[in-house]
Chains A and B, each alone.
Chain A
Amino acid sequence: MSDELAEKVQSVIAASKRIPRERVSLDSTLEDLGLDSLDRLNLLFALENDFNISIPDEEAKSVRTVREMVEGVRKLVTGASGATSAA
């Protein structure tokens, strides 16, 4: 199940940035993948929609790697009841 989530996050990243899925690994940094500030906003928007979560601004800012993004999404998905009060 956890791998499924990681797989889905990586697919969302690839689709959002319009790059081949195989370029995205857990160890990639978002910078390596060429994401600028607007690309990050687009990615967060896609992740919020696809996982039905709300990603707080401060947590979003601290994410550097795909792995961190996967873990951040996992935290919000599993603790979804607490996520909405994070604002």
Chain B
Amino acid sequence: MAPRRVAVSGLGVISALGHDVASFWNALTGGRPGIGPITSVDVSNIRFQNGAEVRDYDPAQHFEPARADLLDRFAQFALIAARQAIRDSGIVFTPELSQRTAIVTGSSVGGQSTQDAQFLEVYGRHSPRVHPLTIPRIMPNAGASHISMEFGVSGPAFTVSTACASSNHAIGQAFWMVRDGAAEVAIAGGSETPFSFGFLKAWEAMRVVAPDTCRPFSRDRHGLILGEGAAMLVLEPLERARARGAPVYAEIVGFGMSSDAGHITTPSTDGPARAMLAALRDGDINAEAVGYINAHGTGTANNDSTETRAIRQVFGAHAERLAVSSTKSMHGHALGAAGALEAVATVLALRHATLPPTANFTTPDPECNLDVVPNQPRRAEVEYALSNAFAFGGLNAVLAFRRPDRKG
């Protein structure tokens, strides 16, 4: 089968910026961060106090009590985002289509809050047992499994775990499956809920979390801000989406991967650069045609300067004409869900010809001398955009998107 053009025809998001796509996009283009004091965990004995939490969330509004018992918070978010994306796409799963639909999700740590609470029972309280649903709640594939069960989608389904690149790897695999005909439709994205005491202590020990807020590319940046949430995208052949009158938010046109083969936590320039080049090559895209990059942009000293060098290495003189922003400044670093949230941000930037800014930016850094769209959104017709994700462990994944055709 000849490669098919692949459309993004449905979107779903739950994040610190709100519980749906509209609130996500409004906050992003308003430059309004969802970062504030962490309330779901007692952080009085943790060196950082701020995070990007999903606020005003009531599981009872989304799940019957018996169902909620089965679902860690991360799987709940995965389901909520998938419901939105499927409804948005208007897709109807006939028995034939169900078997030809793939689900690929990303998660770095799965049901972390369940693990934390249940292990506390045996280690801390010396309880003789943990809850019998501990394993099915913790498993990082729980999101994919529950999506498949709720919608009766019975094609290939799996979960990718590559730390902060998880959902870019997931969306990229799903894209390739649809492009090559291994699946007719795919539901792809990621989900993460890192706010549990033990996991926050582990991040404290890494000393990369900012005490204030996330200021990517700004000279006074002090690290990342952890975020939670989920985002899902419906992918299907462009012709199919058009034929049934579905929304076409953008095309997904390229996917590139690489590994640094270097240090377990310090990023290289070469690995990310090769992943960007691979995405361009995969989509047969001229570097000069790229107008926007949604950066990995974590706000750590190392990432942002290294990513700047990698972008300059790939784009040369064209780097001067590229807009590069980090929306982590607003939705936080959602780890295994980061790529999915940022894919939605990138797709909407193309669709609405509006680039979300890098919020919380105060002072230019010579080490990060790119056009980072500081603080204010920008109107810009962009044909191609990249979305970067570079994981601890040196595993890099880059997605390339193209704006929807103006007509038809």
Contact = CB atoms under 8 A, between A and B. Distances in A.
B46 A36 contact: no
B120 interface: no
Contact of B211 (A38, A44, A45, A57): A57
Interface centre among A37, A41, A61 (most CB of B within 10 A): A37
Contacts, number: 31
A41 B206 contact: yes
Contacts of A45: 205
B265 A37 contact: yes
Contact of A37 (B47, B205, B266): B266
Contacts of B223: 57
Interface in B38-62: 46-49
B201 to A, nearest CB: 12
Interface string B223-240: 100000000000000000
Contact of A57 (B47, B49, B265, B302): B47
B264 interface: yes
A56 B49 CA distance: 13
Contact of A36 (B205, B211, B263): B263
A56 B206 contact: no
A60 interface: yes
B318 interface: no
Interface residues of B, number: 15
Contacts of B207: 41, 44, 57, 60-61
A73 B205 CA distance: 17
Nearest to A60: B207
Given A36-B266, A38-B265, A57-B211, A87 B46 contact: yes
A54 B47 contact: yes
A87 B47 CA distance: 5
B220 to A, nearest CB: 12
Nearest to B266: A37
Contacts of B211: 57-58, 87
Contacts of A60: 207
Contacts of B49: 87
A60 B302 CA distance: 16
Query: A interface, by DSSP: helix, strand, loop or mixed?
Result: helix
Interface in A30-53: 36-38, 41, 44-45
Contacts of A87: 46-49, 211
A37 B205 CA distance: 12
Interface in B86-116: none
A54 B205 CA distance: 11
Contacts of A57: 47, 207, 211, 222-223
A62 B211 CA distance: 16
Interface in A44-87: 44-45, 54, 56-58, 60-61, 87
Nearest to A87: B47
Contacts of B205: 41, 45
Nearest to A86: B47
Contacts of B46: 87
A60 B223 CA distance: 14
Contact of A38 (B222, B264, B302): B264
A41 B202 CA distance: 12
Contacts of B265: 37-38
Nearest to B265: A38
Interface in B252-277: 263-266
Contacts of A54: 47
A36 to B, nearest CB: 7
Contacts of B206: 41
Nearest to A37: B266
6 contacts: A41-B207, A45-B205, A58-B211, A60-B207, A87-B46, A87-B211
Given A36-B263, A38-B266, A60-B207, 10 more contacts: A37-B266, A37-B302, A41-B207, A54-B47, A57-B211, A58-B222, A61-B207, A87-B46, A87-B48, A87-B49
Interface of B: 46-49, 205-207, 211, 222-223, 263-266, 302
Smallest CB-CB A-B distances: 6 pairs: A87-B47, A57-B207, A37-B266, A38-B265, A41-B207, A57-B47
